[in-house]
Structure 1
Amino acid sequence: MIALILAAGYATRLYPLTKDTPKPLLPVQGSRTILDLLLDRLEVLDEITEVLIVTNDRFFRAFEQWSQKYRGTKPIRILNDGTTSPEGRLGAIGDIQFAIGREQIQDDLLVLAGDNVLGFGLEEYLSYFHKVDKDCILVRTVDDIRELRSVGVAELDAEMRVLSLEEKPQAPRTNIGVFALYIYKRSTLTLFSRYLAEGGNPDAPSYFPEWLHSRQEVRAYYTDGAIDDVGTPEAYAEMRARLGG
């Protein structure tokens, strides 16, 4: 299994913090960055054979410098999607397809957002993926209507099969939020190019499973663990205070 970390955003809402520093490389625990904490979660997963980080041309050098100092055991490679501005970005799904095509990935793929801090390990999620042998999304209960309107929202059956998925709904059908942690079977990876060729939205990563579940079975894995996204300068300050940064 290969881990793909999406880190090609420009985080304009966090300016000036992220004008010259990509959000995943912001320190949140002393000198340790969001990306360092995310790699901690991957280091303990034996089946992850390689970590790919896809970023943009503006921040490529910063990630290269970070990778040269990283002391983990997983092989890490930084991919440059060639974009230079928010207006020209490929979008999350565009970057997934970029990585699949450039690296000719033919392995199961764990996709993660590079700007999330996870309050739980991923071992059980991977075990669930192997048990059900289906593409998987990660969900948790969200009771704040404002947060629900900012994420994907899923309907599930008793077997955790995805019945519907809607990105950023104004009138959410459930309180089951979908977060940027996906596991795709190697046989599914060719469908990303088909999705984009059919005019699928390349932006938010949950648009792809929204399209996929009507074509093949997609399962959901439930967690009650915390998933923190640094979306504003205030949220960043709160996270640093909480993590001892």
Structure 2
Amino acid sequence: MEVLVLGAGYGTRLQRDIEQDESGKYSGLIGCPKPLLPIGGRPLVSYWLDQLKECQHQVTGTSIVTNSAHADRYRAWAASTADASTVDIIDDGTTTNEGRLGAIADIELVIQKRGLTGDLLVIGGDTLFHDDFRLSRFLDEYLDLQTRWGDELGAFAEVYTCPEEDVSRRGIVEVDADNVVTSFLEKPRPTETQSRLACPCFYIFSSKALPLISAFLLELKDRPLAERDAPGNFLPYLSARLKVIVSRVSGRFDVGNLPTYRACDDYFTSRNSTT
């Protein structure tokens, strides 16, 4: 299994918050891509590398896709730590948020550049889970699902129960008794669904799903970027053709703005101080 960390976004909301913050406490984060943000004293992506080390027997390679504006930062980080020395930094060639490819196109780029044909774990570079999550357990669950579903399996994803007030800001999934996704609802009103299962950017795409990424992008090539950007746009397309199955975790951090950055940093600072 290959691993891809998505890091080609420009973090415009977070950067705007930092620039407008009058305390100046976070001014050192201006221009820092979200996977490299200091969380509990370490780059966010380093927490994923810790988990990947526990799964070396299942992981064949790790890549981070970035943009030309941030590529040098990633290369410097990779050169500075032995843990990242084998991480492949892939530059998608964009230089502005307006000119970004979008996450799905970045996934397709990495698939093509690396010639990938097997299973692919995609990790949102602004995402971390609470302490009860173990990547090794997630990968073992995926192997069990492969045995059960075979070629019908398209993707395996984590979900968590989000607060009522967050439903209209999240991608919500409805599932059946086997945890197979039956529908995706993008930022629904709480009255539109009884489900409170939010689906962050963290998925294993099976080998059968990879060709569908290019098919999806081809179908939507003339549509606005917003309709083909995020992986959440692809999942409904995929679930109409293959099984998308979910597992549950207690919660996650989505570092999208300054308040969510502070919450994530506080959580891991506290955790690191007690370990």
Q: Same fold (TM over 0.5)?
A: yes
Report the residue type matching 1:142 in the other structure: C
Aligned residues: 242
Indicate the residue corresponding to 2:43 in structure 1.
Answer: 33
Instruction: Tell me which residue corresponds to 1:84.
Output: 95
Query: What amino acid does structure 2 have at the position aligned with 1:220?
Result: V
Contact 2:180 2:243 in 1 (8 A): yes
Distance in 1 (CA, whole Å) between partners of 2:169 and 2:93 is 28
1:196 to 185, 195, 217: 217
Q: Percent same amino acid among aligned pairs?
A: 33
CA distance in 2 between partners of 1:179 and 1:237 (Å): 19
Matches within 5 A, 1:144-183: 144-145=164-165, 147-171=166-190, 172-173=192-193, 174-183=195-204
1:242 corresponds to 2:242: no
Rg bigger for which structure?
2
Return 115-124 or 91-100, whichever deviates more.
Answer: 115-124
Q: For structure 1, which segment, 83-92 or 123-132, has the greater mean C-alpha deviation from structure 2 after superposition?
A: 123-132
Report what 1:229 is aligned to: 254
Q: Aligned in 2, Cα 1:64/1:88: closer, same or farther, shift over 3 Å? A: same
- Distance in 1 (alpha carbons) for counterparts of 2:47 and 2:79: 17
**TM-score, scaled to structure 2:** 0.82
Bigger CA drift: 16-25 or 91-100?
16-25
Hey, what's the Cα distance between the residues in 1 that align with 2:82 and 2:203?
26
- Matched position secondary structure for 1:110: strand
Moved more, 183-192 or 53-62: 183-192
Match of 1:215 among 241, 244, 258: 241
C-alpha contact 1:54 1:80 (8 A) present in aligned 2: yes
- Provide the TM-score with structure 1 as the length reference: 0.92
Structure 2 residues not aligned, in runs of 5+:
20-26, 147-152, 222-226, 271-275
Could you list the runs of 5+ residues in structure 1 that have no partner in the other structure? none
Cα distance 1:22–1:73, how it changes in 2: closer, same or farther (>3 A)?
Answer: closer
The corresponding residue for 2:52 is 42
Provide the residue aligned with 1:56 in structure 2.
Answer: 67
CA RMSD of aligned residues (A): 1.8
Aligned equivalents of 1:222, 1:241: Cα separation in 2: 23
Where in structure 2 are the equivalents of 1:120-159 lying within 5 Å? 120-133=133-146, 134=153, 135-145=155-165, 147-159=166-178
